[in-house]
Structure formats: C-alpha cells, structure tokens
Amino acid sequence: MSAALSYSSGESVTPLLGDTIGGNFDATVRAFGDREALVDCPTGRRWTYAELAADVDALALGLLELGIAKGDRVGIWAPNCAEWTLTQYATAKIGAILVNINPAYRTRELEFVLNQSGITLLVAAERLKSSDYAGMIAEVRPRCAGLKTVVLIGHPEWQSLLDAGRRLDRGALGAIELDTDDPINIQYTSGTTGFPKGATLSHHNILNNGFFVGELCNYTEADRICIPVPFYHCFGMVMGNLGATSHGACMVIPAPAFDPAATLAAVQAERCTSLYGVPTMFIAELSVPGFADYDLSSLRTGIMAGSPCPVEVMKQVIERMGMTEVGICYGMTETSPVSTQTRADDSLDRRVSTVGRVGPHLEVKVVDPETGRTVPRGTPGELCTRGYSVMLGYWNQPDKTAEAVDVAHWMHTGDLAVMDADGYLAITGRIKDMVIRGGENIYPREIEEFLYTHPDILDAQVIGVPDVKYGEELMVWVRLREGAQALTAESLRTFCTGQLAHYKIPRYVHIVDEFPMTVTGKVRKVEMRERSAEFLGQDGGA
C-alpha cells in the first residue's frame, strides 16, 4: 500500500456565509446592538454596535454623496484608529473597493499604488510619528490624475462627510446591488523585488475567513479582542475586525502603531479575552518592564501568526500571559489570509511545532516544487491551498496572477512545508530562504528553533550569505537578552557542536539591537542578506 499523500480538506458542519460584509454586519447589529463594538483606547472613544452602525451608515452615505460608486477605489493610508474601521465597513456597504496603503510607504510607493489601483478618493491621517502624510500626498498628487479627493482624518472634511451622510436617507444603501463575489479590498503584498502586487479580495473571501478564524477561537459576543496588529494588513482588518463583527465581539485598538506597554495596558483596562500578534510583538510584550504587574487574567485565547513562532516564546505566552487557548495561524494576503490553524484543544506540542491543520471548507496539499506532484506525507515540498479564500487575482496583472494561481485554482504559496500523518503542517521555510551549502539543503527555521534555547539569545534569524568554497555559508543575526554576555562565533559554535550537524552551524554571528522589519512585524531577510554580503565582503569574508 502506497504512503498517504500530503493532501487534506477541511470538514465543517457550519456552512460558508453567503452574505456581503455589510449584510453580515447589519445582522450582528440587529442581534447585539447594545453590546460594545469598538474601543479606541488612545482617544477614549467607544461605540456600541448600534452607535457604530449609525456612523458607518453616515460615512457610507457621505461617500455616495461625494460621488463614490460601486467598484470605485477608495484608498486608506493611516495607522490603526476608529476611522480606519469606519472606512472599512462604509466602503463595503456601498461596494467601493478599499485599497489598504502601508503606513510605512514613502512617496514613490504611494504614487505607484494610487496610480496602479486607480484610487479616486484617499482617506489619510495627517501624519504618523515622523511621516508627514499630508506633505507626501501633496507632493505626488500632481502625478496622480485619477485622484479626485483627499480627506484627512480629524480635519473638517472628515466631519463634513459624516454630517452629510446623517442628513441623507439610509434607504439609498439598500438600493445598491451587491454580490458576495464582488471585489471589495485590494491589499498590496510586499514584493521582494520590484513594486508590490495588489491582491484583490471579495466579500466572500475575507468575510468567511474572518468568521471561521473566529469560530476556531470559539468567539462569542462576550469576547473582547485586542488588536495591536495593523489594520492595513489582513491580520488586523480580517482576523481582527471581521473576526469580531461576525461574532458580535468587541474590537479594542490599543495604540495607533504597535506599543508593547500600551497593548498590555489595553488588555488590563478593557478585560480583553483575546490578543493578536506576530512573535516579535509577543517577545516585546514579555520584555516590558514590570510585566508581572499587569493583570492579564482575562486573556483566554489569541492568535500568533505572520512568521514562524519560536517554541520558547509560545510557551511563555501560554504560561506567563495565561493564553491557554492561543492558536497559531498560517496564511498569506492572497488567501484572505488564513489557510491553516491550530485548535483550542490541540496539545502544546502541536501548537509549538506546527501551524495546525487546514481550515473549514479549504484544501491544502504539499507538492514537489519541480514536478508539481503531491508528495507523500512526511516529505517536504511547496504548500498549496485552494478554496473560498483564494484571491480574485492581482489587480490588473493577469500575468502575475497566472504565476501564483494555477489552472486548477491552487494558490502556490512559495513556502516549504511538511504534512504529518494527522494532517498537521510544519512550515520549514521559504523556498527562497532555503540555503544550499555545498550541496546540502538547509532550512533556517530548524537552526533558529535550536538557537532560541541559548540562555543569552532573545531572537535569532539565520540567513545564507555568498561563499566562494560552498556557494553559500550560514550567518546568524542575534538579539541578546538584557545583561547577556558577549556572544562570539566561536562560543556559538561550541554551543551548537553535538546538537546540530556541522554544516548547520552558523559560520558568522552578527549582534544587533533590532532586525530590519516590515510594518507587519516580519523580518526582512532579503535586506539582511544584502547588508551581510556587503559588510562580509568589505571584511574579506571573515
């Protein structure tokens, strides 16, 4: 009998939602109108579901009055704030396509996105920290012919939009014909080369993904979700906002941008039951001075995702933060985003060594990257996923869409994975991150997991750097714990000897305070490789 293949489909007794985002939101408002829906901690503002619905509808009607129609693109360029959430649901109500713009973008990237997606209205913050959004918009606007209107949050034009909508007949919203498969959101993926691509997502894509992620977190109207992850990314607006509103739960915004102390304070003050983050965020929260003084006893669950989750960090989140039901999610923007998730009753081992199993109504398989054939379970290959979550395509880029989604509608993730006998998946790295040293295929994740057990290492990222003899050689960038002794390549080699095969032991060690990161908290290994190649070359490769 041949070995079982690395294929799994997600069973569910709960059917897919067949509604639009606005329709689902309205149903929640009818059921839970008096319950708290949104808390914006930095400004102290609060909304019940009934109050939130009134503001969402007012903004939607204001947009209609401004001439925004179904299918028009509305950009939003702002940090996490209540206005972001209002814009998300208001555009969904009228069928306008919300284009999420990364808060870290500068003028060149902003101009590209405005023109590539054809944004006619841009909602933006005036500024964030050192970023002068208003100034950058003014600079690029002459080169963006399609951009008709700019509305700055907190300025009179924002309030006038809401005021105009409050004077209009809500019946106008019911007259708009919307379909669940209509495009409703464009999210630009951070391409490693060239300009990003605009993953285009429908009501059906993201509403169902938010709903089923919430289902596997056992959300009810009693839950309060702390969302320090950015709204411009699927983690914030889908798993956070849509996960909450599809269950009548409360969305809690701890700060405009990630702040570990503000996050802990929000969990304590708002009695949050769920907390989201990427591993680096949880590491930062666990390292906050006076961490033990925060009352986190309300926490039950949460999601750790966005990049591989170190075993030691996961254990501390469960033990020190009380998140006994915390789950791991795996996904990508192009799949709305979540494809696999651990369950609340999974063992600790499952939650620290895998990204769970396939989500409800989805399919996953692991294929040979060369042949495309499904590999036997236990064999590494490229992870592919198919189902309701796969994007409509990249906005106006059919050639790029065809490279990512094959003729059988499988999304090729570019991630290396192994599926075990029970259908649980372990991500072993990116195909592009794999290091080939002297003919040996090395997966950085395995080495990083081991290095987390070093008493002085807070975080470690392993990359491949050019090498004359082996083609590639291993290098590790390390963040040390406070008060740790200086770490050398020699002392690290001693720590690894006898624990890792000799070819997996990093030759170079680089100590840093921070890693180069994306706004979503993912480590930019491409930039690390570029910088490492530069300074190793300057040092003669020593």
Cα 329 from chain centroid (whole Å): 10
Query: Which pLDDT belongs to residue 194?
Result: 58
- pLDDT mean across residues, the chain: 93
Helix 203-216 with 21-32: angle, nearest 10 deg: 40
Q: Give the tens place of pLDDT for each residue, 365-423.
A: 999 988 999 999 999 999 999 999 999 999 999 999 999 999 999 999 999 999 999 99
- Residue ranges per domain, the chain? 21-419, 435-538
In the chain, the amino acid numbered 484 is A
Q: Give the tens place of pLDDT for each residue, 72-95.
A: 999 999 999 999 999 999 999 999
Query: Which pLDDT belongs to residue 2?
Result: 58
Whole-model pTM over 0.75 = yes
pLDDT at 353 over 60: yes
Q: Is the dihedral of CA 154, 101, 146, 57 positive or negative?
A: negative
Query: Which pLDDT belongs to residue 430?
Result: 79
pLDDT at 519 over 80: no
Q: What mean pLDDT is predicted for residues 204-211?
A: 98
Cα(488)–Cα(399) distance, rounded to whole angstroms?
47
Cα 247 from chain centroid (whole Å): 20
End-to-end CA distance of the chain: 52
In the chain, the amino acid numbered 512 is V
Task: Name the CATH code of domain 435-538 (choices 3.30.379.10, 3.30.300.30, 3.10.129.10, 3.40.190.290).
Answer: 3.30.300.30
CATH number listed for the domain at residues 21-419: 3.40.50.12780
Are the folds of 21-419 and 435-538 the same? no
In the chain, the amino acid numbered 295 is D
Give how far Cα 277 sits from Cα of 124, 229, 304, 401, 531, Å.
24, 6, 5, 29, 27
208 φ, ψ (degrees, to nearest 5): -65, -35
Burial label, 188 (beta-carbon count in 10 A; 0-12, 13-18, 19+): buried
More confident residue, 522 or 115: 115
**Radius of gyration (C-alpha) of the chain in whole angstroms:** 23
